[in-house]
Amino acid sequence: MDCPGFERLIDYLDGLLDAASSEVMAAHLDSGCSECVTGRDWYEMVISIAASDDTVEPPPWVLKRAIRIFENARPQESAPARIRRLVASLIFDSLARPSMAGARLMEPDDHQLLYRAGDYHIDLQLAQARKCIHSADASFDLTGQILKESEYAFESVAGLRLALIRDDETVHSTITNEIGGFSFPAVEGGFYEMRIEAGEITITIAALNIL
C-alpha cells in the first residue's frame, strides 16, 4: 500500500482512526516502512517528554502581569520634555541697603545679591579681582550657591549647569558642586544673563550687573 503520510500516522497514534483504518495502519507499520517507523518513534518520544513535564499552568493574573512587565520594558518614544522656565526675582542687594545716619561712608569689598525663582534661592557674591582706572576694565570673582526650599539634602542642586551669557553668546560656564556651590573667576564687568539648568526647569537671572 502507499505510505499514508505523517498526519494520518499521528491520528493513528492518537487513537483517532476507526478500527478498520487502524488495522490498515498497523499492517503498514509492520511492513517496515522506514519513514513511518521513524515518524512513530519520534512522536512517541515527544509524548514521553510531555508526560514527564511537571510544570503548572500559571493563573491568568500571572500572565497579565508578565505581559504588562514586557510592555513597560519596551522602549517608548519619549515625549518632548516640557521645560519650565522661571525668571528669578531679586530679593536682596547689599548695595541697596540704606546707610545708617552718621556712619562713615566706605566702599564695600563685596557685593551680595540674593535671587528667588520658585523653590530655588540663588545667593551671589561679587568680589573685585582686578582694579583698574576705568571701571569697565575691572574683573570680578563671582561665587554663589543654589539652594532649594524645604530640602535638607543637596541632590537637586548638585551638578546643575550654569552659563553666563553676554550678547547672546555664552562667555562662561560651569557646574555646581555637591552642595550647589559654583564660581566664575575673573569675569569682566558688565551686564550678563545667568542661566541655570535644573532638570526640567530653566532659571534665568536677567540683566545681572557685575560691578
pLDDT, average across residues 21-36:
88
Has residue 34 got a pLDDT over 80?
yes
Note whether 176 and 158 are within 8 A (CB): yes
Q: Where are the domains of the chain?
A: 6-55, 84-96+108-210
Q: What pTM value is reported for the model? A: 0.56
**Range with top average pLDDT, 104-118, 124-138, 192-206:** 192-206
Confidence of residue 67 (pLDDT cuts 50, 70, 90): low
Angstrom distance (rounded) from CA 146 to CA 135: 28
Asked whether 90 and 107 are in contact (CB, 8 A), the reply is no
Phi, psi for 50 (deg, rounded to 5): -65, -35
Averaged pLDDT score across all residues of the chain: 81
Distance CA 147, CA 122 (A): 7
- Give 88's Cβ-side CA count (13 Å radius): 27
Sign of CA dihedral 144, 150, 155, 159: negative
Write the pLDDT tens digit of every residue in 157-177: 999 999 999 999 999 999 999
Instruction: Name the grid cell of 192.
Output: 550678563
Secondary structure of residue 72 in the 3-state scheme: helix
Assign domain 84-96+108-210 to its CATH architecture: Sandwich (2.60)
Residue 210: strand, helix, or coil: strand
Find the mean pLDDT for residues 115-119.
93
For CA atoms 44, 46, 49, 53, the dihedral sign is: negative
Secondary structure (3-state) at 95: helix
Local structure of 13: helix, strand or coil: helix
Q: How buried is 24 (Cβ within 10 angstroms: 0-12 exposed, 13-18 middle, 19+ buried)?
A: middle
Residue 69 corresponds to which cell in the numbers above? Answer: 512587565
